[in-house]
Chain A
Amino acid sequence: MNTAVKTLKRGDDDLIIDNVPYRSRLLVGTGKYRSFEETQRAIEASGAEIVTLAVRRSNIGQNKNEPNLLDYISPEKYTILPNTAGCYDAESAVRTCRLARELLDNHTLVKLEVLGDQKTLFPDIPATLAAAEILIKEGFRVMVYTNDDPIMAKRFEQMGCVAVMPLAAPIGSGLGIRNPYNIRTIVENAGVPILVDAGVGTASDAAIAMELGCDGVLMNTAIAEAKNPILMASAMKKGIEAGREAYLAGRMPRRAYASASSPIDGTFFS
């Protein structure tokens, strides 16, 4: 009996971003946790190898000996992905990336987001395009947050972004994938990794993103705001892996009616 089942081993199915292979397809943020210890433990449990963080003004004259996030999330252990969260115009996003590059010793991989308004946190696409153009010219490797718009996703790819990250739902909303058809179209058209960035609420949302063929998922709030963030981080890891394997396995077709699993022939009743 041949029961050889093809299982995915390390290196078999890496996520490649900017020519660097990663085993984990889950990327995580570091905001909203109760402490740096909790952040560290959740990231450990998630198995993530790419960790995003923000850049902010240092406190002048207060909390001088504040612990530093980078003491907990080591750039030697993780690929640090500085983000431009909180930027509402192209100039601040570009300045943030330049500061991050200096902060992280010439590190060029960045997550670009330029937001349109505080209520929806939807991206400002013209401003994002303008910032991406400058950053790419300056040698940054840009992973870009955008709408679930297939035309824009292609545009960002063509201008040289190393990954395109459409939202599934508004940032921090936890609403799951609101437009799976658009995400699927973006994935089908893509020549660079497509990662769902924002909107995932629980492990099944992450699995759905992966089943649609996304290359990865970036999330923060879904883990940080869970009642038990460490357990949710572990759940997300499994959701991502299950979704990926289901995508690679190729799901059965959907049918409108039943289809019996047992043969009809040879029944002893009639």
Chain B
Amino acid sequence: MLVIINGIETTVADTATIANLIKQLELTGRIAVELNKQIVPRSEFESRLIKDGDVIEIVHAIGGGQSTYNW
């Protein structure tokens, strides 16, 4: 099935959970996940199933003070 992760269309397995997805993307370190604009607590990564068409945001902390910066 197709989902949108951080704005990019991505193919994932039909019975994927958030945890599966993080593993597939080889993401390590501290992240937070939003599924269709709702936070998915870390404790639910293993159980939360992804559906076709879901919009997922995965974020982490970066350097920043005030406002947008052009890197």
A115 in complex: contacting residue of B8, B61, B64, B67, CB < 8 Å: B67
B32–A99 touching, CB < 8 Å: yes
CB distance from B19 to the nearest CB of A (A): 15
B30–A70 touching, CB < 8 Å: yes
- Which bucket holds chain B's interface residue count? 20 to 34
Residues of B22-40 contacting chain A, CB below 8 A: 25-34, 37, 39
A145 at the B interface (CB under 8 A): yes
Set of chain B residues within 8 Å of A28, measured between Cβ atoms? 65
B57–A85 touching, CB < 8 Å: no
A69–B62 touching, CB < 8 Å: yes
Set of chain A residues within 8 Å of B31, measured between Cβ atoms? 58, 103
A219–B30 touching, CB < 8 Å: no
CA distance A198 to B66 in the complex (A): 7
CA distance A99 to B57 in the complex (A): 9
B66 in complex: contacting residue of A36, A58, A83, A101, CB < 8 Å: A83
With contacts A118-B68, A172-B67 known, is A53 near B59, CB below 8 A? no
Set of chain A residues within 8 Å of B57, measured between Cβ atoms? 57, 99
Set of chain A residues within 8 Å of B63, measured between Cβ atoms? 29-33, 36, 39, 53-54, 69
Set of chain A residues within 8 Å of B60, measured between Cβ atoms? 55-56, 58, 68-69, 103
Set of chain B residues within 8 Å of A172, measured between Cβ atoms? 66-67
Set of chain A residues within 8 Å of B6, measured between Cβ atoms? 57-58, 60
With contacts A60-B58, A86-B68, A121-B66 known, is A95 near B28, CB below 8 A? no
Q: Report the interface size for chain A: residues with CB under 8 A from the other chain.
A: 50
Set of chain B residues within 8 Å of A69, measured between Cβ atoms? 60-63
With contacts A82-B61, A99-B39 known, is A60 near B25, CB below 8 A? yes
B37–A54 touching, CB < 8 Å: no
B58–A85 touching, CB < 8 Å: no
CA distance A115 to B7 in the complex (A): 22
Known: A57-B59, A102-B41, A219-B65. 19 other contacts (CB 8 A): A29-B66, A30-B64, A32-B63, A54-B61, A55-B59, A55-B61, A57-B57, A58-B6, A58-B27, A69-B60, A69-B63, A85-B68, A86-B67, A86-B68, A99-B32, A102-B39, A103-B30, A197-B66, A224-B65
A221 at the B interface (CB under 8 A): yes
A30–B65 touching, CB < 8 Å: yes
Set of chain B residues within 8 Å of A33, measured between Cβ atoms? 63
A220 at the B interface (CB under 8 A): yes
A29 in complex: contacting residue of B25, B42, B65, CB < 8 Å: B65
Set of chain B residues within 8 Å of A219, measured between Cβ atoms? 65
